[in-house]
A and B are shown apart, each in its own frame.
Chain A
Amino acid sequence: MKELVVISGKGGTGKTSIVASFAALAGNAVLADCDVDAADLHLVLEPEIRRREPFSGGKRARIEPGRCNACGKCRELCRFGAVLPDRPRDPSGGRVYRIDPIACEGCGVCAWFCPEQAIVLKEAINGEWFVSDTRHGPMVHAKLGIAEENSGKLVSTVRQEARRIAQTLKRDLILIDGSPGIGCPVIASITGTSLILVVTEPTVSGLHDLDRVTALAKHFAVPAMVCVNKWDLNPELALMTETHALRRGLRVAGRIRYDRGVTQAQVARKSVVEYQRNGCSEDIRSAWEAVRRELDRTPDVSGEGRRAS
């Protein structure tokens, strides 16, 4: 079984459009949308949800107002500024405290040290994940709750489920749509995969971010390829990006031309290669061939999901 993860460093370079097209071209892959805090793949693949599960990525503290005597110990110990003064519940009582659920990281220090045992630490529901059917194969996706944390754990959950499905259905490829950046969800998306495809654009920002994401791939020892999307917006920088990538040991999967059909395909809820045969679809097909060949050279991934932060 192979795992291909598409990431970009910089956002908005075309990851999801390319993953949707790859899904159509691969035909029998298991899909995993690991951009859990701004997922878009479902807009194109129109999944039919078969199973939904709550996700709990951690705990959260809550102060029982009746038991708090406002000693202030929790406020003193909290490193996350999550203990806020609350209005007194009854006029005779002094000031009590409350926990800001957005700032709370669920460490439990306040609950442990509260002399009145007025603080409870409970599992928090941070999101939801789904197993769905799409016209291009099974898909695992998720929705992180608004203003929630632990996206890395949710990504790991999605990947584990995708692996389980791939094993059960004997599918040999998992296609992962990653998120922008280099932080926790990205690390959780790439660790232990067979190959990273970095989708970039010919801009100074794209080049700068490619550099950081390449270093990340190297740090976690995952082989990577690069593909310059909308290359004709700045041919000089496109060439520079590819040269730069080659020097850093990345293979070039191809270039994709700028094409307004990409947006039109989104509106039609189709992948670009389903929407049109010519234009950038030709480029995406040849990039897919290059990625496919590279995947054949990589070793299979083990069945067990690796844990990331």
Chain B
Amino acid sequence: MRIAVASGKGGTGKTTVAANLAYVASREGHTVAYLDCDVEEPNGALFLRPAISEREPVHVSIPAVEETKCTNCGLCGVICQYSAIVPIKGKVLLFPELCHGCGGCWLVCGSGALSESRRSTGRLETGNANGIRFLQGILDIGQAMSPPVIRAVKAAAPDADFVVIDAPPGTSCPVIESVRDSDYVLLVTEPTPFGLNDLKLAVEMVRVLGLPFGVVINRAEPSASDTHAWCEYEQIPILAEIPDDRHVAEAYSRGEMVCETLPGYVPLFSELLRRIAASLNATTTTAGRRCAP
């Protein structure tokens, strides 16, 4: 079962929820894999403290140019939608950071001047954190496109009872890439106006993707908030509420697992896991599920 933990707003507690979910699932005897897909700022390792056993570069395709073969036909510049290749009088200018690796230029090149090559934009690290299979992607500084690194993390995911995906914040392409073939999406929010605004955007996103989802409210106050009212109105299940507890914030600040430092929180996360599994059994996983081929 693939559970993606996402949020519109940053800093609502995605990593806390994802890491502690993985922790309780593993403690209960399930096989668990943790995928840190927040490749721009991966933080799961700070909490799970895995022993990394493998590091490999993530490559994306780019064209390689042999200028002596170029016949100045100019087709590469015509097909490229990203202005990543600009032919001018026997010279071919490449802008690798704009290239999406679609292959158009070397497919249209009739003279053999262009061929497929690759460059590295990040790395994939795999390891083990007390029995949890751990994978993280790390985007190189200065690289703009994180989806290829996210794809690499997901492609390397091992089989496990629970695959927990820590997604980046937002609602655009890196988030879509992270959550798209999940069985369930957990949206973590906080009961503030910013939190609610961004939760609405995140809900719109998972609805577009047609994935089953539920909400976790972090830093919850004892009294009901606008977030509660909105979720009730929209008939969105609130699967867990993590109280606004200074001890949790302090444990987090030091990079500690909430369930380890404050074992009183174990039942909360185990109940969350149970509720996700239960709602998945209720709504058959085929509904609206979308898989990248």
Is B truly associated with A?
Answer: yes
Q: How far is the CA of A233 from the CA of B219 in the complex (A)?
A: 15
Q: A152–B108 contact, CB under 8 A?
A: no
Contact across chains for B170 and A179 when beta carbons are under 8 A apart: yes
B107 adjacent to chain A (CB < 8 Å): yes
Cβ of A220: which chain B residues have Cβ within 8 Å of it? 142
Residue A303 CB within 8 A of the other chain: no
**B contact residues around A115 at 8 Å (CB):** none
Across the interface, name the chain B residue whose C-beta is closest to A264: B192
Q: How far is the CB of B228 from chain A (nearest CB, A)?
A: 15
A180 to B107, CA, bound (A): 37
Report B-chain residues with C-beta under 8 Å of the C-beta of A181: 40-41, 146, 168-170, 174
Chain A residues near B169 (CB-CB < 8 A): 11-12, 38, 180-181
Q: Are B209 and A216 in contact (CB under 8 A)?
A: no
Q: Name B's interface SS.
A: loop
Whether A40 touches B198, Cβ cut-off 8 Å, given contacts A103-B292, A147-B209, is yes
Question: Complex Cα distance A102/B81, Å?
Answer: 17
C-alpha spacing A257/B170, complex, angstroms: 26
Does B12 count as interface, using CB distance less than 8 angstroms? yes
Contact of A43 with B9 at beta-carbon distance under 8 Å, contacts A81-B293, A109-B104 already known: no
Q: Is B262 an interface residue (CB 8 A)?
A: no
Chain A residues within an 8 Å CB radius of B190: 12
Given contacts A43-B194, A233-B249, A266-B193, whether A112 and B79 have CB atoms under 8 Å apart is yes
- Determine if A208 is an interface residue (Cβ-Cβ < 8 Å): yes
| B253 CB contacts on chain A under 8 angstroms | 201-204, 233-234, 237
Whether B170 lies near A37 (C-beta < 8 A) is: yes
- What are the residues of chain A within 8 A of B171 when measuring CB–CB? 37-38, 144, 146-147
Q: Which of B10, B82, B144 contacts A184 (CB 8 A)?
A: B144
Is B97 located at the chain interface by the 8 A CB criterion? yes
Q: How far is the CA of A160 from the CA of B71 in the complex (A)?
A: 38
The reply on B102 being an interface residue by CB < 8 A is yes
* B208, A105: Cβ atoms closer than 8 Å: no
Check if A146 sits within 8 Å of B142, measured CB to CB.
no
B66 is an interface residue with CB less than 8 A from chain A: no
B224 to chain A, nearest CB (A): 14
- Give the total of A residues in contact with B, Cβ under 8 Å: 65
Q: Which residues of A contact B198 (CB under 8 A)?
A: 38, 40
A309 and B102 form a contact (CB under 8 A): no
**In the docked arrangement, what's the CA distance between A309 and B81, Å?**
12
Scoring B residues 245 to 281 as 1 if CB is less than 8 Å from chain A, else 0, what string do you get? 0000110111100000000000000000000000000
Q: Which residues of B contact A269 (CB under 8 A)?
A: 193
Q: In the complex, A181 Cα to B292 Cα: how many Å?
A: 25
B197 adjacent to chain A (CB < 8 Å): yes
Residue of B nearest to A258 (CB): B249
Report the separation of the CA atoms of residues A205 and B16 in the bound assembly, to the nearest whole angstrom: 11
Distance between Cα atoms of A201 and B81 in the complex (Å): 40
Residues of chain A in range 199-244 having any CB-CB distance to chain B below 8 Å? 201-205, 208-209, 212, 215-216, 219-220, 233-234, 237
Expressed in whole angstroms, the Cα–Cα distance for A269 and B226 within the complex equals 14
Known: A205-B43, A209-B43. A108 touches B10 (CB 8 A): no
Mask, B30-62, CB within 8 Å of A = 1, is: 000000000011010010000000000000010
Contacts of A169-212 to chain B: CB distance below 8 A = 179-187, 201-205, 208-209, 212
Residues B12 and A12 in contact, CB atoms below 8 Å apart: yes
Asked if B141 and A109 make an inter-chain contact with CB atoms under 8 angstroms apart, the answer reads no
| Nearest chain B CB to A143 CB, angstrom units | 9
Q: Report if B143 contacts A (CB, 8 A).
A: yes
Enumerate chain B residues within 8 angstroms of A183, measured Cβ to Cβ.
40, 139, 143-146, 174
A308 neighbours in B (Cβ, 8 Å)? 144
Residues of B bordering A, CB below 8 Å: 8-12, 15, 40-41, 43, 46, 61, 79, 81-82, 97-98, 100-104, 107-108, 139, 141-146, 168-174, 176, 180, 190, 192-194, 197-198, 201, 204-205, 208-209, 249-250, 252-255, 292-293
Interface of A with B (CB < 8 Å)?
Answer: 8-13, 16, 37-38, 40, 43, 58-59, 77, 79-81, 84, 102-103, 105-109, 112-113, 121, 144, 146-149, 151-152, 179-187, 201-205, 208-209, 212, 215-216, 219-220, 233-234, 237, 263, 266-267, 269, 308-309
Please give 7 more A-B residue pairs, beta carbons under 8 A apart, in addition to A38-B169, A183-B143: A38-B201, A40-B194, A40-B197, A59-B81, A105-B100, A183-B146, A309-B98
